[in-house]
Structure 1
Amino acid sequence: MTSDTSVGVLVVDDDPLVRGALTLMMGGRDDVTVVGEASDGRECLDAAARLRPDVVLMDLRMPVLGGLEATRALHRRPDPPRVIVLTTFDADEHVLGSIAAGADGFLLKDTEPAHLLEAVKRVAAGEPMLSPTATRSLIDRVRTVAAEDRTSGARRRLETLTDRERDVALAVGRGLSNAEIAGELHLSVPTVKAHVSRLFDKLDVTNRVQIAIVVHDAGLL
């Protein structure tokens, strides 16, 4: 930091009006100080090495070197500054790409000044900060990945079954009783019970509801 109480900030944006507005917003404060500006990612890397800011406010789309590439390069350095990506774009790929590159925060340029200043201080202290839309993007992505993992895992488990066992599993998933399964598949009830017992072992479950869950997760219901 620039002092015991002030956070040093490097403002990086190819639009001089944006840089000027951000610098003006943070001017005259005791707790946040703009130590420099840069108009592209290459200038950012040079300025960060020279000025040693605590936090970099990083635009994404810039000439010469973009914000993601610059963030990634900063993150590889020893004792790198914290990076807050500040952009007009909140698409999922920008959120995920920024965090993967090493950003500690992701905010939109229309963020209220007070919230932006608070974010700068909190990120400097080691606390990540995301806009509400960025947080939602991450939650949705995690849920999607988890669902994909459940689906692929369930399908792998069902691949261990014989064709007949799979038929019985699907019928169990539909809520049919052993007698109903026997009638539908032209099997005896004892044979159906034997298949269900093998399903418990092969699918590593302990009851019929869990069989149904595996079938559901595999996308077969």
Structure 2
Amino acid sequence: MSNSQGPKIRVLVADADQVFRETLTAILGLEDDLQIVGTAALAGQALSATLSLRPDVAVLASPLRGLATLPLTIALRHQLPTCAVVVIATHPGESLNELLSKGVRAVLRKEAQGQEVAACIRAVHGGGRYVDPESITEAIRHRNRT
């Protein structure tokens, strides 16, 4: 847990898997400097919730039903450019370059620990980027196969 005295980082969590979404929300909710402002199960819900709740960071688990991650990211970045987008995926390395080029600030594998996700949220909120090492390795392997 972080012991931040400043304003909390407002976070939206979106994932089609209810158990993953609720677990991640509960874990992040334990962090003193993070505030979960909303959740979504579908891409359309994630877009509308992000626009109405205006989180600092949107954590999107890929894939979300209703719209692929890239078009959703483009829509979010266009309509709410102040919101940093973090993508959590099973195999993010396959689309890592494209995700980053479309405005995603961070990419994590679904196996990431809660503390890593929280640190990632803090990093992107501070203007940084984050890609977990396993996603980089996977991206290199994918590129070498093509």
Using structure 1 for the length normalisation, give the TM-score.
0.58
Tell me if the contact between 1:60 and 1:67 (Cα under 8 Å) persists in the aligned partners: yes
Say whether the 8 Å CA contact 2:9–2:57 is kept in structure 1.
yes
**How many corresponding residue pairs?**
140
1:15-54 aligned at under 5 Å gives the runs: 15-54=17-56
CA RMSD, Structure 1 to Structure 2 (Å): 2.2
**Displacement of 1:43:** 0.8
Higher RCO (CA-CA < 8 Å; seq separation 6+) = 2
Quick one: which amino acid aligns to residue 103 of structure 1? V
2:11·2:59 contact (CA, 8 Å) conserved in 1? yes
Report the alpha carbon displacement of residue 135 of structure 1 after superposing the two structures with TM. Answer: 3.0
CA–CA separation in structure 2 for the residues paired with 1:103 and 1:26: 20
Quote the Cα distance in structure 1 between the aligned partners of 2:66 and 2:48. Answer: 13
* Alignment of 1:11 onto 2:13: yes
What SS class does the counterpart of residue 81 from structure 2 fall into?
coil
Q: 1:13-162 counterparts in 2 under 5 A? A: 13-92=15-94, 94-136=95-137
Return the alpha-carbon distance in structure 2 between the equivalents of residues 41 and 78 of structure 1.
Answer: 15
> 1:142: Cα distance to partner?
9.4
Structure 2 gaps, min length 5: none
SS at structure 2 position matched to 1:50: helix
How far off its partner does 1:113 sit? 1.4
Write 1 or 2 for the structure with the bigger share of strand. Answer: 2
Find the aligned partners of 2:143 and 2:66 in 1 and give their Cα distance. 33
Q: Output the CA distance in 2 between the equivalents of 1:78 and 1:5.
A: 20
DSSP-derived class of the 1:111 partner:
coil
Larger Rg: 1
Q: Which runs of 5+ in 1 are unaligned?
A: 144-221
TM-score, scaled to structure 2? 0.85
The percent of aligned pairs where both chains have the same amino acid is 26
Q: Distance in 2 between matches of 1:63 and 1:128?
A: 26
Question: What do residues 169-202 of structure 1 show as CA deviations (whole Å, max 9, x unaligned)?
Answer: xxxxxxxxxxxxxxxxxxxxxxxxxxxxxxxxxx
